[in-house]
Amino acid sequence: MIRVVLQSSVDMELYLIRHGLAGQHGDYPDDDQRPLTPEGERKTEQVAKRMRSLDLKFDLILTSPLTRAKQTAKILQKAGLSDALETAGYLAPGGDIQNWHAWVESWRSPDKALALVGHEPDLSSWAELLIWGEVRDRFILKKAGVIGLELPESGSALSNSQLFWLTPPRLFL
Amino acid sequence: MIRVVLQSSVDMELYLIRHGLAGQHGDYPDDDQRPLTPEGERKTEQVAKRMRSLDLKFDLILTSPLTRAKQTAKILQKAGLSDALETAGYLAPGGDIQNWHAWVESWRSPDKALALVGHEPDLSSWAELLIWGEVRDRFILKKAGVIGLELPESGSALSNSQLFWLTPPRLFL
């Protein structure tokens, strides 16, 4: 696969993408099924389109099983950002990064790019664990916002990753 | 002054902006006078224009005294991002954040926005000190890249700030 990387390095890139604007909490009997609003869909489409225009392409998108995340992931896929999309239970709210970490250690290779679609505060916490090894709530990740991390070429991704991108969706609209 | 903030909060915003692409190190007898290349000027102008189109406005731009930083700061000012531009010696390479911190504690107020134009690895280190209180080289800040921090409403900015923005210039081109 041809992939034009945003960084000159060939270290694996990880994108943490928060789901788009969804309906009000409490308006749905099952919060897991709360969908994106029309505005949330539109803005997420714009973000996806802009990311694709940067020649970004993921080898795989993993998404939380919740409706608002799956819808977001499908919008990313439809924009041409990835051919592969899978659901991962550990991306649901409160999921344990160790479950993902165990998987990614066998999946990762330097030239790959992976996107995770999920929720706050989990995604910011995961980013902090990957960068710093501890959570201090120091990142502000808006809905449809994106965090870009470069994983180290070798060794554990936890505590050893670098941040090259954190954007509110507004920068793409 | 009317300012449309990127964040809904009214906490003070701090933007750390790295100078644009400059001539080769060693090509100038005095490295402090190394200027931006034509490409560096063009890209920095594009970044500045895009930032201005986001309704961003700084109450003040402080710049390193080095030529490549001052040129970058002037491009930001010319794009309408600030009416005020001053040179600050502590923004030169190796400058001490404590000098800036002593000044900003009296200058800051919740509704203000400040931009610092300087160099790497200093800007990334300052960001880490503001967010985490220690330097671990975990941020990748490209030339003409931008870091956006939200300072806490009260208390020291050091170790207590939050990151809402980190972009390579490519996202704006």
Q: What is the mean pLDDT of residues B16-38?
A: 90
Q: What pLDDT is stored for residue B149 in this prediction? A: 98
Picking from A6, A139, A161, the nearest residue to B168 by CB comes out as A6
Cα A116 to the chain's mean position, in Å? 3
Which residue in B13, B14, B165, B173 has the most chain A C-beta atoms within 10 A of its own C-beta, making it the best mutation to test that interface? B165
Q: CA B171 to CA A172: how far, in whole Å? A: 8
Q: CA A146 to CA A55: how far, in whole Å? A: 16
pLDDT at position B106 over 80? yes
Q: CA B18 to CA A168: how far, in whole Å? A: 20
Task: For tokens 């789901």, name the residue.
Answer: A19
The first and second tokens of residue A14, run together, are: 């990880």
pLDDT at position B37 over 70? yes
What pTM was estimated for this model as a whole? 0.92
pLDDT, tens only, B113-146: 999 999 999 999 999 999 999 999 999 999 999 9
Closest CA to B57 of B10, B130, B133, B112: B112
Which H, E and C letters describe chain A, residue by residue? CCCCCCCCCCCCEEEEEECCCECCCCCCCCHHHCCECHHHHHHHHHHHHHHHHCCCCECEEEECCCHHHHHHHHHHHHCCCECCEEECHHHCCCCCHHHHHHHHHHHCCCCCEEEEEECCCHHHHHHHHHHCCCCCCCECCCCCCEEEEECCCCCCCCCCCEEEEEECHHHHC
pLDDT at position A8 over 60? no
pLDDT, tens only, A107-144: 999 899 999 999 999 999 999 999 999 999 999 999 99
Question: For residue B36, what are the β-bridge partners?
Answer: B22
The first and second tokens of residue A9, run together, are: 């390095």
Helix runs in chain B, H state only = 38-53, 67-78, 97-107, 122-131
Task: For tokens 């803005």, name the residue.
Answer: A43
Using a CB-CB cut-off of 8 Å, the residues of chain B touching A8 are none
Q: What pLDDT is stored for residue B31 in this prediction? A: 87
SS3 B93: coil
Flag whether residue B140 sits within 8 Å of chain A, measured between CB atoms.
Answer: yes
The first and second tokens of residue B81, run together, are: 């991002």
Question: In chain A, what are the domain boundaries?
Answer: 12-171
Q: DSSP class of residue B80?
A: T
Q: Count how many residues are written for chain B.
A: 173
- Looking at this predicted complex, what is its ipTM? 0.91
Q: CA B166 to CA B147: how far, in whole Å? A: 4
Specify the CATH number for A12-171; select among 3.40.50.970, 3.40.640.10, 1.10.10.10, 3.40.50.1240. 3.40.50.1240
Which residue in A18, A21, A136 has the most chain B C-beta atoms within 10 A of its own C-beta, making it the best mutation to test that interface? A136
**Please, what's the b/e burial string for A92-113 (b: 16 or more CB within 10 A of its CB; e: otherwise)?**
beebebeebbeebeeebeeebb
- Name the B residues in 18-57 with CB < 8 Å from any A CB: 54
Q: How confident is the model at residue A94 (pLDDT cuts 50, 70, 90)?
A: very high
Q: What is the mean pLDDT of residues A59-80?
A: 98
- With CA atoms as reference, the chain B residue closest to A142 would be B164
Cα A162 to the chain's mean position, in Å? 15
Q: What pLDDT is stored for residue A1 in this prediction? A: 41
Using a CB-CB cut-off of 8 Å, the residues of chain B touching A140 are 7, 150, 162-164
